[in-house]
Amino acid sequence: QVQLVESGGGLVQAGGSLSLSCAASGSRFSINAMGWYRQAQGEQRELVALITSGGRIRYADSVKGRFTISRDNAKNTVYLQMNILKPEDTNVYYCYAVVSFGSTSQFNYWGQGTQVTVSS
């Protein structure tokens, strides 16, 4: 089992910045990819940013140029720096990890979610 613990988030005015972090813990696992999704009430969960173990990065078009994802492999931690925040970025943000336990099988894990609110 792997636990994802998120921190960060909160309330900020439009144009401001926030950062999120997510640390994975467990035993004898390797992380293939980590990232962030977000979900507004009544909406589907959508990808925000993802980074693979090889360093490949994918962003949602809506956050390109404003958000930056990074990863500390030694700490099994992923970060999301969010700049120039807009009211439409208001969402619950979920940490996501694709994990293997010494085999080719991969498992998806989710954090508990952290609220990001951007006021206009």
Looking at residue 87, its pLDDT comes to 96
pLDDT digits (tens, 9 = 90+) for 38-96: 998 889 999 999 999 999 999 999 999 999 999 999 999 999 999 999 999 999 999 99
pLDDT digits (tens, 9 = 90+) for 95-113: 999 999 987 789 999 999 9
Residue type, 109: Y
- Partnered with residue 119 across adjacent β-strands are 13
The pair of three-digit structure tokens given for residue 48, joined into one six-digit string: 């925000």
Over 90: is that where the pLDDT of 34 sits?
yes
Residue pair 58/47 in contact (Cβ under 8 Å)? The answer is yes
| C-alpha torsion sign, points 75, 78, 84, 90 | negative
Looking at residue 102, its pLDDT comes to 80
Looking at residue 103, its pLDDT comes to 76
Over 80: is that where the pLDDT of 18 sits?
yes
Q: What is the mean pLDDT of residues 6-34?
A: 95
Q: How far apart are CA 69 and CA 37, in angstroms?
A: 12
Torsion on CA atoms 55, 58, 64, 70, rounded to nearest 10 = -30
- Give Cβ neighbours of residue 74 (< 8 Å, ≥ 6 apart): none
Question: How far, CA to CA in Å, does 29 sit from each of 5, 73, 76, 104?
Answer: 16, 12, 10, 12
Looking at residue 92, its pLDDT comes to 96
